[in-house]
Amino acid sequence: MERTAVNPWNWSIKLGYNQGEVIQGASRQVICAGQTSVDENGAPQHAGDMRGQIALALDNLEAVLEGAGMTLANVVKLGVYATDVDEALKNFDLMGMRFGPHQVTPPMTLLGVSRLALPDLMFEIEATAMA
């Protein structure tokens, strides 16, 4: 698979994502459901702790990708939902720490929402991955 960044402007690169990507040569695609800060039984974890929730949501995303034989390097699109966008952005260094080693900056949308599926959840991330 070959990825070519499309960035008519450079500001988003500093925030860790491309405006678009041209994907060529991909033969498999995985659509990941939104991953949140829940344990293996679906119980919410890290109530009131945005940083803890982002970290666990990323762990859960990586587990889904691993189950499909992929890693964060295969992610080509992210959708992020947060009940407090400012608090999420304060902790977005976690995104860079996870995606940075893979040298990918997938296009991303961050949306503020009034709540997520379970009341204690503050952060959710969904992904599309290709190989």
Band (pLDDT 50/70/90 cuts) for residue 14 is confident
The pairing of beta strand 108-112 with beta strand 75-82? parallel
Question: Which of 3.60.15.10, 3.30.1330.40, 3.40.1080.10, 3.40.605.10 would CATH assign to domain 28-130?
Answer: 3.30.1330.40
Instruction: Enter the DSSP assignment of 100.
Output: G
Domains in the chain: boundaries = 28-130
Instruction: Enter the DSSP assignment of 56.
Output: H
Band (pLDDT 50/70/90 cuts) for residue 26 is confident
User: What tokens were used for 1?
Assistant: 């698979």
Instruction: Enter the DSSP assignment of 44.
Output: B
DSSP string, 1-34: -EEEEE-SSSHHHHTT--SEEEEES---EEEEEE
Partners of 3 in beta bridges: 23
- State pLDDT tens for residues 29-77: 999 999 999 999 999 999 999 999 999 999 999 999 999 999 999 999 9
Instruction: Enter the DSSP assignment of 60.
Output: H
The pTM for the full model equals: 0.92
Vertex 6, ends 8 and 66: CA angle to 5°?
A: 145
